[in-house]
Amino acid sequence: MKLLTLNNTAKIISIALLTATAGCNSHSSNDEPELKIALTPAKTGSFGDQGDGTYINPILNADYPDSDIEQVGDTYYMITSKQHMSPGMPILESKDMVNWTNVGHAFPKLSWAPEYNWDRMNGYSFGVWAGDIAYHEGKWYVYQVDYQHGLMVTTADDIRGPWSEPIMMLPKADVLDDPAVFWDEETGKAYVLVNTGTKQKGPDNTIEGNENRIYEMSWDGTKILDEGKLVYTGMGAEAAKIYKIDGTWYIFMAQWTMGDYSTKPGVKNPKNDRKQLVLRSKESIYGPYEVRTVLEKGSEFNDRSASQGGLMQAPDGSWWYMHQLIQNDDIPFQGRPQCLEPVTWVDGWPIIGIDEDNDGIGEPVKRHKKPIDGYPISAPASDDDFSSETLGFQWEWNHNPRDSHWSLTERPGWLRLKASKVLPNKAGHGPNINQWTNNDGSDGDFWRASNTLSQRIMGITTGTAVAKFDLSGMQPHQLAGFVRYGGVFNLLGVEVNEQGEKHLFYMNGMSEKTVGPKITGNNLYVRTSNARDQATYEYSFDGKSFKAFGPTFTIAFGKWTGDRLGFFSWNEREDAGYIDVDWFTYDYDGPKAASAPMDVAE
């Protein structure tokens, strides 16, 4: 029997065992007498909605970087980047700016380049970068620049899709990253602003840093109409967003303050800082612009820069700003989370957060009153019993999956991961060594094993995830099980030898393997826990008695990715074998919605 704990109301009800009605796994035994569903309140924690009308930053304390937000009616929609993960560009929605849930992805596949496919896995750190989401004349638009391919746009009539194949608008020779779009209803003209870096920089521009250009585009938002016009140059200047408020043009932009040139932007260096700027013009979108710094590090988050995000307005007229914490100093293992700041306007300039030192520049708040009251606590989905025929939006593949090698329908109620032969360790396969990747362990088989499926960790205090596996489909030379990975990987799983014997194993990020006991049964439960960046693995054969295996290891940010929880399956010699995942639960120190699907006990 399974006890499903649905975080809802504080009562327990008993119902007859009806699979569809109860939402339990369809493979449960029909002779079980009764299913009890315990309904409990939504959960709060060390971040997000506190259930008392306040929130604690980061409100979305997970790897949701590079946000942009569009409001339609009473709903706010957010996109965030996710590099080489597929599907790409997660989309979230919220009614109150604090509680966010996943509703889809703008790129069902990273379909525009072969390096993102399962048979190459050569797109680490690239793929989907910071983008812009817009709603115009009944159609949704998402723009982004793939550093290696150029500016593109995808469109949809519904935020939940389907989304079009990307339309390429500018080549990589002209642009670097981070587009922002604006439709000016007063003039009937549409614009896109792009960081062009130094790609078009001439000798007459002696200002150090990136150039940012505004291009006119077609009213349908899919074509570039001119050669562009330079509007701003600055060190690491990027991540622009365009607003027109009471006839005044505002461009919000992030910019690095470099105190040490020995490392590049994006590489850990506490001497370097990133701040949020605002450019203001009362004349034209092309300027001339006045420039001010409006957000910087403060006492609450003094080890991480704060910038890059989107401006919002609440129904009461108040203004708010969502932004990420940057990865430049101590790099927390959860990735780049989102913070929500109040915005006040002084003499036509925004101050983001609280001006705690009275210098006219805002700093992030830690705890604040919510912008909008009356909505329940919610969060991105985490737990899963795989009873749906489609994957939950919390899950993403490491590069595009091999669709013939995974299924939710071959064994209803289970996720089946079939093992592909690991890709060759040669040029064009697996990660490259560059400024955005870790220099150690990048030649390990894990990085070239297709169909690794995972989701983000939440928070930086504590967390525990558990999954149940069925090993009966495994074949010789197959390795499969549970993975934690971001900048490094750590595996706990099962390896099948030439004779068909199964053994537990732990593998660290350098592919060093520790072999454990022989496994004779088909059921394996894996539990992993972390206290801040220190994590452990445990295993069980009955789901009740767990035993530790492997060392305490350090989880880390890398390849522009925070630590993730998920499943792997590969074969060292041939396409053979599979592993089935029955369920996954994740308990962490943060908000969890009343509709969270399950806490499984058998």
Same domain, 432 and 344: no
Same domain, 29 and 57: no
Tell me the per-residue pLDDT of 544-583, one tens digit each, with 9 for 90 and over.
Answer: 999 999 999 999 988 889 999 999 999 999 999 999 999 9
286 neighbors 229 (Cβ within 8 angstroms): yes
Q: What is the mean pLDDT of residues 40-51?
A: 92
**Cα–Cα dist 57/297, whole Å:** 14
Q: What is the DSSP letter of 209?
A: S
For residue 425, CA distances in Å to 422, 577, 598 come to 9, 22, 40
Residue in this structure with the two tokens 């994740």, named with its chain if needed: 586
Question: Looking at this protein, which amino acid is placed at residue 327?
Answer: Q
Is pLDDT at 28 greater than 50 in this prediction? no
Same domain, 245 and 219: yes
At residue 21, the pLDDT reads 30
**Cα–Cα dist 236/104, whole Å:** 31
Please state whether the peptide bond connecting residue 41 to the residue before it is cis, i.e. omega within 30 degrees of 0: no
455 neighbors 64 (Cβ within 8 angstroms): no
Per-residue confidence at 269, pLDDT binned at 50, 70, 90? confident
Is pLDDT at 37 greater than 50 in this prediction? no
**Cα–Cα dist 221/155, whole Å:** 9
Taking alpha carbons only, the member of 466, 481, 483 closest to residue 585 is 466
Looking at 345, 369, 393, which one is the last position of a domain? 369
Is pLDDT at 343 greater than 70 in this prediction? yes
**Cα–Cα dist 545/165, whole Å:** 49
Same domain, 32 and 163: no
Q: Work out how many domains the chain is built from and give that number.
A: 3
At residue 330, the pLDDT reads 72
**Cα–Cα dist 385/583, whole Å:** 4
Same domain, 498 and 404: yes
179 neighbors 194 (Cβ within 8 angstroms): yes
Does residue 127 sit within a domain?
yes
CB atoms within 10 A of CB 424: 10
What is this structure's pTM?
A: 0.92
At residue 11, the pLDDT reads 22
Is pLDDT at 32 greater than 60 in this prediction? no
Q: What is the CA radius of gyration of the chain?
A: 24
**Cα–Cα dist 230/233, whole Å:** 8
Which pair of tokens denotes residue 459? 């928070």
Is pLDDT at 34 greater than 50 in this prediction? no
**Cα–Cα dist 474/465, whole Å:** 23
Residue predicted with more confidence, 432 or 455: 455
At residue 317, the pLDDT reads 97
Does residue 455 sit within a domain?
yes
Residues 6 or more apart whose Cβ sits within 8 Å of residue 246 = none
Does residue 340 sit within a domain?
yes
Residues 6 or more apart whose Cβ sits within 8 Å of residue 333 = 457, 460, 486, 532, 533, 554, 555, 556, 557, 562, 563
For residue 453, CA distances in Å to 408, 431, 456, 542 come to 13, 17, 11, 24
**Cα–Cα dist 503/501, whole Å:** 7
Strand pairing report for 564-571 and 453-456: antiparallel
SS3 of residue 404 by DSSP:
helix
Structural domain harbouring 310: 50-369
Count the alpha carbons within 13 Å of 499 in the hemisphere toward its beta carbon.
3
Q: What is the mean pLDDT of residues 119-140?
A: 97
Tell me the per-residue pLDDT of 572-585, one tens digit each, with 9 for 90 and over.
Answer: 999 999 999 999 99
Is pLDDT at 518 greater than 60 in this prediction? yes
**Cα–Cα dist 330/269, whole Å:** 8
Does residue 602 sit within a domain?
no
For residue 218, CA distances in Å to 166, 186, 189, 193 come to 16, 15, 8, 14
**Cα–Cα dist 313/191, whole Å:** 22
Same domain, 455 and 343: no
For residue 316, CA distances in Å to 74, 319, 364, 422, 429 come to 12, 9, 22, 56, 53
Give Cα 125 distance to the centre of its chain: 13
Does residue 376 sit within a domain?
no
Same domain, 575 and 449: yes
Same domain, 56 and 115: yes
Residue predicted with more confidence, 329 or 39: 329
Same domain, 520 and 425: yes
Tell me the per-residue pLDDT of 286-330, one tens digit each, with 9 for 90 and over.
Answer: 999 999 999 999 999 988 999 999 999 999 999 999 999 997 777
318 neighbors 368 (Cβ within 8 angstroms): no
Does residue 141 sit within a domain?
yes
Sign of torsion over alpha carbons 45, 49, 50, 55: positive
Residue 115 belongs to a domain with what CATH number? Answer: 2.115.10.20
Q: What is the mean pLDDT of residues 519-529?
A: 98
Looking at 334, 369, 404, which one is the last position of a domain? 369
Does residue 341 sit within a domain?
yes
Sign of torsion over alpha carbons 7, 8, 13, 18: negative
Query: Does residue 468 come out as left (phi exceeding 0), alpha (psi in the -120 to 50 range) or beta?
Result: beta
How many residues does this entry show for the chain?
Answer: 602
Tell me which H or E stretch contains 489.
strand 489-496
Per-residue confidence at 271, pLDDT binned at 50, 70, 90? confident
At residue 258, the pLDDT reads 79
Is pLDDT at 220 greater than 80 in this prediction? yes
Same domain, 14 and 119: no
Residue 584 belongs to a domain with what CATH number? Answer: 2.60.120.200
Give Cα 286 distance to the centre of its chain: 33
Same domain, 408 and 534: yes
Same domain, 256 and 117: yes
Mean of pLDDT over the chain: 90
Does residue 316 sit within a domain?
yes
**Cα–Cα dist 556/568, whole Å:** 19
Is pLDDT at 189 greater than 90 in this prediction? yes
Phi/psi at 259 (5° precision):
-105, -10
Which pair of tokens denotes residue 397? 């593949």
Tell me the per-residue pLDDT of 370-426, one tens digit each, with 9 for 90 and over.
Answer: 999 999 999 999 999 999 999 999 999 999 999 999 999 999 999 999 999 999 999
The percent of residues above 90 in pLDDT, for the chain, comes to: 83
